[in-house]
Structure 1
Amino acid sequence: MSTDKPVMSGSRSAKLRLREANGTFSKSRIWVERDNFYGDTKFSKGNPYIIVGFDTEFKTPEKPVTIDEMKAGSAKYVVLSYQVHCSVYDPDQPDVQEWSAICYPEPGDRMTLADLLALAFWKGISTGAVKTLPTLVYVVGHFTRADVPAFADFKSLTSQIAAVRSTFTSVDKGVKIVTQFDNDQSVEHLVILRDTMLLTPATSKSLWELGKLVGVPKISVDPDPERELFYKKNMDILLRDKPDVFEKYAINDALICVKYLERLIDMYAGILGKRKAPATLTAIGVDLLMKKWKTDLKIDPLEVVGKQKIVRRTYSKRLGYFKIEKVNVPLEQVAFYLPLATECYHGGRGEQFWFGPAFIDDWTDYDLAGAYPTAMALIGFPDWSNIRQSTSLDDFTPGTLGMANVRFEFPKTVRFPTMPVRSENGLVFPRTGVSNCSAPEIALARSLGAKLKILHGVIVPTDPGKPVFRDFIRECVAKRLSYPKGSLDALFWKELSNSSYGKTAQGLHSKRVYDLRDQEMKDLPPSKITNPFFAAFITSFVRAALGEVMNGLPENVCVFSCTTDGFLTNATADQISDASAGPICKLYGQSRDMLTGDATILEVKHRVRQPLGWRTRGQATLIEGQTDKGDGVNIVLAKGGIYTAQELDSTRLQNAFITNLFLKRSPTDRIEMATKTGIRDMINFDADLVEKETSKRLNMEFDWKRRPVAAWDNEAPQHLAFTTDAWETIDQFVEMRGYWEAFGIDPRRCLKNKGDFHAFAVYVLSQSALGKAGARYLKKTDPDLKRIRQSLCAAWRNSEAGLTKKVDGKTAEQFAQLLTSAGIICNRQDVENARSGFKPKNCPKTPAVVNALVKLSAVFPSLEIDTLVSSNEGIDLISALDAIATYIPQGGEPSTL
């Protein structure tokens, strides 16, 4: 279509390649006039705006790109099309119609963002769908990290948008685009970029799921599933073979984005009275919560989080003068205790209590119902002005907003100690030590019989009759239950309550995010409701509830693993009920009852017959459960960071892959991962979203957060298995991690059978018994026997440790044979090479060493065994091979223990 009317454009020609009705392509010139635009670029209650849903279709390289190709600028896809679907919100124009458009760029050519908007505006005006257009524009896509790099002006756009959770969105002022007209007139558009990935519930992140929620299902391109998958991987061939299907499929993705954003804006307006689309779904929850504080509690939100607004005078190097600004800072009486409260904030409890295949039984995966919202609802309005120090255990009850540095010691009868200690490898729960934790865990430890001494404690008085989160959460729950299960509205309200906890902890522990404007990593800033006292209490209460139930189970019941707010066990329903009767669980149930009218504490997530475990968040299923529910319900699967290929599109397929990987793994295995280019790749190498060559070593070994106490070779399937107990101290865990890194990582090793376990156990005992200096030259293979051989040969040559070379009258050859017959492989050269001086107590006291020395003492009665072996007992894992696990299956096939 040719015209001499003014053209909207950035720095490029707005001549686009469009497909005519007869299927041919033509060059068409798009146009708009100054009179086509109205309004301003400010948000207000009734300010009109246009939503431009956008999407691109592209063809990626046939194989993943290498780092060299990325550096050379070859990490590019071929853009096949740009498509938009548009709608306008304007109460004064109720008859505005929606419209769509698609553009096919010339090979190697790309559109700017201004070009895309020009296409959208021109199509709406030229078709009569709309006469005039607002200057305020929402541009929305799904996973914009894939599509924004397709713009020719991508690099300049990065200075005006932000990277949030590995995708692109606007977080402040948006993108300003000025349109110049031939008569020297211009119009400024404010473009707000939104990504539906950041605005969708956790269970509905795919565009397919999103389409179902808004009643616009994804379009199938071929009835044959294999051809469908082929075409989606080769959209260029779909365009060639089925151009009409291609176009319908492409535009439909943009349509889904528009429909979802419309629904979201409507819901936001209904809640907060403003027609606005926040950058993230969690931002809506924070806005609603703060509104309730203002309207229901009649208080300033700053009072709730212990802050105040002050005026501060700061010098701006950029401006060259002092600025006066208002900032929020902690109250003076609160600021003093913030370091302790921050140290008391930890994440969820994650431990693997059993390594390898479990026995066949009825295993149930339980989750605490609504864990974090339930804990949040217990927090009353804090009286920050009367915050006080306390070392009295009586002050730290399950519902107290209290933090402390505590020395603790649990009795041996407690299977799962509950005081968290932070390490470089996550939380560890040793039997003794010093913990920074909150009141719920202090109260629980006390009820379990632990010896406790509060070294430094802080109590924040609260008003339980004025809860700060309960009404907000209760409203979210009520709203969710008022809608059909699985509907967009129900999922929306569920997400608001579940995600608000994370905002109380945002910025407490360093989390680095990439800043597009400065092109560097920066710490994630705090949110409007960040408060370490709240975050520490919430997570502590959840860990305490979990710990109370697990420790309430009988000793012959197995707890296989725990992760954040759930655990896997073979306990019966009655045993779970009895274990959930403690004071913390009662308080938990009361909170649930206030929120939902249902005091149920635990929910069943999965049922399986034989689980497989290897590390924290590393579990799979060997034998599925026997319920009548579908794929996934009868399978426990936590991949532990292991990548599964896209074609493994069901839980069952992924589980089969993971279990096979574990059982057949070797020390040299690597996982080839089809990862995508990240935001830093896109900035540094001008890359598009393409697959890049990535592989990492397979790591499915135990993480040593617990101490093995009984180990054996399981029969079906054949693999090492062991049960565990708590470490005595955090130092033992750190020491053990160091031993594994030295033994199992260089060179790589796997623990697959008793022989592997024994080799590592001997190494650990040898290293720990001799200490750093004594173990300096120990071998990794048979270190105990090789060291005792060295010591015996040196003692014999130097007449030490009860050995007298002259009196015995043995030759070096004969002495070597005697050592070999006692189980110490030795030859004449080993004896003759032992020329260095004898070092007493330089051998680890392993069973193999003791057995060999006992045999030798029959030949050499004067042999001084205590002079040869270390008096330090070291860490003994070897005895686990002779121990028997105490867990008794509750039914089904017998254990192989």
Structure 2
Amino acid sequence: MERENFYGEKHSRDDDRYLIIGFDTEYKTPDGELTPQDIKDGSGKYKVISYQFHCSIYDPGQPDAVEWSGICYPEGNDRLSLADLLTFAFHQGIATGAVSKLPNKVYLAGHFTRADFPAFKDFQTISKLIGSVRATFLSIDNHILLQYWFPDDGPVKIEVVLRDTMLLTPATSKSLRALGDLVGVPKVVLDDDPVLEKHYKENMDQLLADRPELFEDYAITDAIICVRYLDQLIRQCDDILGRRKVPATLTGIGVDLLMQTWKAADLDPLEMIGKEEVVVSYFNKRLGRHEKRPVDVNIREVDWHIPLATECYHGGRNEQFWFGPAFEDNWTDFDLTGAYPTAMALIGMADWRSAYVSLDLDQFTHRTLGIANVEFEFPEHVKYPTMPVRTNNGLVFPRTGISDCAAPEIALARSLGATLKIRHGVIIPTNLEKPVFADFISQCIMKRKSFAKGSLQNLFWKELSNSSYGKTAQGLHQKRVYDLRDREMKPLPPSKITNPFFAAYITSFVRSALGEVMNALPSEVCVFSCTTDGFLTNATQAQIDAASTGPIAGLYRQSRQMLTGEPDMLEIKHVVRKPLGWRTRGQATLIEGRDDQGPHEKIVLAKGGIYTPEYLEDQRELNAKILGMFLDRKPDDVIPLKIKTGIRDIIEWDADLVDKHVSKRLNMEFDWKRMPQAVWQDDTIDHVAFSTRPWESIDQFFKVREIWDSFAVATPRCIKTVDDYRALATYIFAQSALSAGGGQYLKKDSPDIKRLRQMLCIAWRKSAAGITRKFDGHTSQSFADLLTSIGIPCKRSDVENARKPFVPHICPATPAVMAALDLLKIHVPSLEVDLFLSANTAIDILAATQENNPYRSIEGTEKILEVAA
């Protein structure tokens, strides 16, 4: 039997019969709070209440599927093995006459199998036959082999493939309830009262006792939803790939379809990603001899440059340009439309074997598949430099430095007036008339548009086009996953289309598209934050349109026109009146958007990794909770977390999926990826706020992060007032002004003045730096009084205990120090001021708090001051 796939290719079909078994468990988790140690001690087990299943056999020769369901209640604390459940399911199907012969292939489908699969008593044994992806269980490159005894045919081997429908669902429909709505099987509601509904879900044993029929309906419906969805997915794969086989993840389907697209165009998939097949010899221990096998390797000309290409791959641009409350205005969250697929579609067919080294900046254009290590310096007027520098705290974009990046960012930096020097660069020639990914993406978009918005098919095709980018980057930067067979963490392996040149170009182009628009906005416009493929700004639509006319924006629209027939670029996601920001991906809303601002979301909320209680689902409630946490935060605040046991907990400690109670320190302070520029106290909520500018160099960022960590530990403090900020800024100034070791004993509170006091007292006792001991008849007490009178608090004991040698140049030249020395010079004309001051350049973020702050004219500050007035 033969069947055609999406591209008309014929595939043989030896046996199309398969059985889907949707399975689920209901259980009762332990009462009380379990600590990590409780899990290790073996207390992390739930009580299994029931195992339920729904079976469906699909046979091309039969017009309708054969289906049956069942539920089993174990006695006491007993558990079923996987073989027990499947035998029960098989037997029930045969006993009821639903089926007389079972297929050899079985898809065992659950939704979030990490919750239900550990319920089998032989889980630890069968776990070695499966794998884990995204913290859940499934079959990856193997199956579970079981033997079942049929009355008429004797023993039959059955291959069981485990699938998790959560890994196969679109990003917007991960819950089982959403999945049920997509397939037309609504999840059963336990009670109209949300409180009682939640209670029953946490106490399913009580539901079974109170309402057994509702319990069974609820339990079996969950299994039915899994079957319905997997069936539709298998049919989708059959239609587009020509085979009834379900990959482990939805993105896997996209990769298979992409490779099929290449094959249909007579293109070698390996050649497309810079690989080739070679035959290698290896020793087969089982057979005791050498054998040969084909393996896929990088083309040699590609392999030379893989390390640099990998370094040039970065994620999205994520920065908070504003700390604290912004001023009230019309703030709009603009997102790039279909960012990553749009960038992918611009990549031409690569001539990998002609790769060459180049130091010529002119060869690195917006369309070039090129990578480089680049020295850069942006003009001071550029508000948002665009050359990424990777750190342990994410990407930072300083004004000067060295960047590993791809061609689009090099071209953009030149257009912004940056001075660049390529230290080492590589270019892969491409044929732009033959795009590598465009046909695949346009096919996905076309198919998506052919279905109703929000339908299963519509979301399915949207996910295929949007998620394929991630597969080009899989395995490039070390991400470790737990290997169930070897019981250890291992690097995530690459995908079939992993290619660092592609990944670097795609992400570089998206960052460049944002950077071009943001830097083209008028100087009076403020950008509040930037998150991956969008930014929040008070720019008007007219200003956005005017800023979106550069060459990268033109290419973006060209790609969108090719893919969708519409040259769109930016779409509005949210509108608010007053946002609050604290760190990367940390924003909330102080004043919601108005109804007259359009049909967009009126709340911006990005929690920045902060956990909130599970019962808070309403966006306004979540926003209010986050605002309260920010405004009321204290240095020692911790968040109590109730997290689920992970893969390692379940495997290593024989645990089930239960709640594990831990705590995490609340961190809602600025992440210092940018330099504060103007600081003020917002009177409306009584909290400090500041705008920012780029650091001069990455070394400044590293130094400030180091000093901040030291300051936060030694003097726990939240930056909530201008005084809080000034204390930190003074400490940063003082520490950064001193040479190595000079700041070792620097006080955290008023470090500059206390260091100056120490030096002056020593100078007085040693008659150094132009100070003569007991000048003009001064005693220890009177000298202490003199210092106090000029703003240096001092006691007699401070003077008398200053017995160390006088060491010059170890006091930071902060404004407070300079003012005190100027006053002292009036009383001690012979004072040698320079001997006290460090000659090192300091990181001065104190200037941002001064009344004569030269940066007071930065974006929106006039508005802030007007509102405050």
TM range (shorter): over 0.9
Q: Is the alpha carbon distance of 1:892 and 1:773 closer, same or farther for their aligned partners in structure 2, counting shifts above 3 Å?
A: closer
Q: CA deviation at 1:186?
A: 2.1
**1:62-141 matches, cutoff 5 A:** 62-94=31-63, 96-141=65-110
Q: Encode CA deviations 1:26-61: one digit per residue, 9 max, x unaligned.
A: xxxxxxxxxxxxxxxx99564311100000001111
Match of 2:236 in 1: 267
Q: CA deviation at 1:184?
A: 11
Match of 1:172 in 2: 141
Paired letter, 1:887: E
Q: CA deviation at 1:185?
A: 4.3
Given that 1:419 and 1:430 are in contact with CA atoms closer than 8 Å, whether structure 2 keeps it comes out as yes
Find the residue that maps to 1:778 and give its secondary structure: coil
CA distance in 1, matches of 2:756, 2:638: 37
| 2:787 is aligned with 1:819 | yes
| Pick aligned residue for 1:583 from 532, 551, 555 | 551
Match of 1:356 in 2: 324
Q: Is the alpha carbon distance of 1:414 and 1:878 closer, same or farther for their aligned partners in structure 2, counting shifts above 3 Å?
A: same
Match of 2:573 in 1: 605
Paired letter, 1:179: Y
| 2:507 is aligned with 1:539 | yes
Match of 2:182 in 1: 213
Find the residue that maps to 2:237 and give its secondary structure: helix
CA distance in 2, matches of 1:704, 1:43: 60
Given that 1:64 and 1:690 are in contact with CA atoms closer than 8 Å, whether structure 2 keeps it comes out as no
Find the residue that maps to 1:509 and give its secondary structure: coil
| Pick aligned residue for 1:369 from 333, 337, 347 | 337
| 2:315 is aligned with 1:347 | yes
Q: Is the alpha carbon distance of 1:363 and 1:752 closer, same or farther for their aligned partners in structure 2, counting shifts above 3 Å?
A: same
Match of 1:293 in 2: 262
CA distance in 2, matches of 1:455, 1:104: 69
| Pick aligned residue for 1:743 from 687, 700, 711 | 711
CA distance in 1, matches of 2:12, 2:683: 67
Q: Encode CA deviations 1:673-692: one digit per residue, 9 max, x unaligned.
A: 11000010001110000001
Q: Encode CA deviations 1:384-434: one digit per residue, 9 max, x unaligned.
A: 121111111111111111111111110011000000111111111010111
CA distance in 1, matches of 2:684, 2:768: 51
Match of 2:3 in 1: none
CA distance in 1, matches of 2:752, 2:616: 46
Match of 2:751 in 1: 783
Given that 1:723 and 1:885 are in contact with CA atoms closer than 8 Å, whether structure 2 keeps it comes out as no
CA distance in 1, matches of 2:724, 2:396: 25
Q: CA deviation at 1:848?
A: 1.3
Q: CA deviation at 1:766?
A: 0.5
Q: CA deviation at 1:893?
A: 11
| 2:678 is aligned with 1:710 | yes
Match of 2:206 in 1: 237
Given that 2:372 and 2:405 are in contact with CA atoms closer than 8 Å, whether structure 1 keeps it comes out as yes
| 2:131 is aligned with 1:159 | no
Q: CA deviation at 1:628?
A: 6.9
Find the residue that maps to 2:739 and give its secondary structure: helix
CA distance in 2, matches of 1:861, 1:889: 42
Q: CA deviation at 1:841?
A: 1.1
Given that 2:58 and 2:66 are in contact with CA atoms closer than 8 Å, whether structure 1 keeps it comes out as no
Q: Is the alpha carbon distance of 1:182 and 1:120 closer, same or farther for their aligned partners in structure 2, counting shifts above 3 Å?
A: closer
| Pick aligned residue for 1:764 from 725, 728, 732 | 732
The answer to which of 743-752 and 818-827 deviates more is 743-752
**1:521-536 matches, cutoff 5 A:** 521-536=489-504
CA distance in 2, matches of 1:374, 1:539: 11
**1:637-786 matches, cutoff 5 A:** 637-786=605-754
Q: CA deviation at 1:131?
A: 2.1
The answer to which of 63-72 and 104-113 deviates more is 63-72
Q: CA deviation at 1:894?
A: 4.9
Given that 1:145 and 1:167 are in contact with CA atoms closer than 8 Å, whether structure 2 keeps it comes out as yes
Q: Is the alpha carbon distance of 1:410 and 1:94 closer, same or farther for their aligned partners in structure 2, counting shifts above 3 Å?
A: same
Given that 1:571 and 1:890 are in contact with CA atoms closer than 8 Å, whether structure 2 keeps it comes out as no
Find the residue that maps to 2:738 and give its secondary structure: helix
| 2:298 is aligned with 1:326 | no
Over the residues paired in the alignment, what is the CA RMSD in angstroms?
1.9
CA distance in 2, matches of 1:308, 1:577: 45
Paired letter, 1:860: V
| 2:618 is aligned with 1:616 | no
CA distance in 1, matches of 2:324, 2:661: 31
CA distance in 2, matches of 1:402, 1:223: 59
Given that 2:572 and 2:600 are in contact with CA atoms closer than 8 Å, whether structure 1 keeps it comes out as no
CA distance in 1, matches of 2:865, 2:677: 23
Q: Encode CA deviations 1:542-577: one digit per residue, 9 max, x unaligned.
A: 000000000000111000000111000000000000
Paired letter, 2:160: V
Q: Encode CA deviations 1:299-346: one digit per residue, 9 max, x unaligned.
A: 110111111100111235676543322110111111111111111111
Given that 1:361 and 1:891 are in contact with CA atoms closer than 8 Å, whether structure 2 keeps it comes out as no
Match of 1:627 in 2: 595
Given that 2:575 and 2:597 are in contact with CA atoms closer than 8 Å, whether structure 1 keeps it comes out as no
Match of 1:145 in 2: 114
Match of 1:200 in 2: 169
Paired letter, 1:153: D
Q: CA deviation at 1:228?
A: 1.4
Paired letter, 1:896: A
Q: Unmatched 5+ residue regions in structure 2?
A: 1-10
Given that 1:514 and 1:522 are in contact with CA atoms closer than 8 Å, whether structure 2 keeps it comes out as yes
Find the residue that maps to 1:686 and give its secondary structure: coil
CA distance in 2, matches of 1:891, 1:94: 70
User: Taking every aligned residue pair, what percent have the same amino acid on both sides?
Assistant: 60
Find the residue that maps to 1:155 and give its secondary structure: helix
CA distance in 1, matches of 2:150, 2:437: 53
| 2:856 is aligned with 1:888 | no
CA distance in 1, matches of 2:597, 2:242: 42
Given that 1:361 and 1:890 are in contact with CA atoms closer than 8 Å, whether structure 2 keeps it comes out as no
Q: CA deviation at 1:806?
A: 4.3
CA distance in 2, matches of 1:304, 1:179: 45
**1:423-434 matches, cutoff 5 A:** 423-434=391-402
Find the residue that maps to 2:128 and give its secondary structure: coil
| Pick aligned residue for 1:52 from 12, 21, 35 | 21
Find the residue that maps to 2:704 and give its secondary structure: helix
| 2:540 is aligned with 1:572 | yes
| 2:465 is aligned with 1:465 | no
Given that 1:620 and 1:638 are in contact with CA atoms closer than 8 Å, whether structure 2 keeps it comes out as yes
Paired letter, 1:760: L
CA distance in 2, matches of 1:269, 1:412: 57
The answer to which of 592-601 and 851-860 deviates more is 851-860
Q: Is the alpha carbon distance of 1:612 and 1:321 closer, same or farther for their aligned partners in structure 2, counting shifts above 3 Å?
A: farther
Q: Is the alpha carbon distance of 1:539 and 1:43 closer, same or farther for their aligned partners in structure 2, counting shifts above 3 Å?
A: same
CA distance in 1, matches of 2:125, 2:614: 33
Q: Encode CA deviations 1:773-807: one digit per residue, 9 max, x unaligned.
A: 21111011111111001100000001111100144
Find the residue that maps to 2:868 and give its secondary structure: coil
Given that 1:631 and 1:652 are in contact with CA atoms closer than 8 Å, whether structure 2 keeps it comes out as no
Given that 1:81 and 1:103 are in contact with CA atoms closer than 8 Å, whether structure 2 keeps it comes out as yes
CA distance in 2, matches of 1:425, 1:682: 30
Paired letter, 1:623: I
Given that 1:387 and 1:461 are in contact with CA atoms closer than 8 Å, whether structure 2 keeps it comes out as yes
Q: CA deviation at 1:888?
A: 3.4
CA distance in 1, matches of 2:742, 2:666: 33
CA distance in 1, matches of 2:598, 2:237: 35
| Pick aligned residue for 2:805 from 830, 837, 842 | 837
Q: CA deviation at 1:631?
A: 11
The normalised TM-score by structure 2 is 0.96
Q: CA deviation at 1:810?
A: 1.1
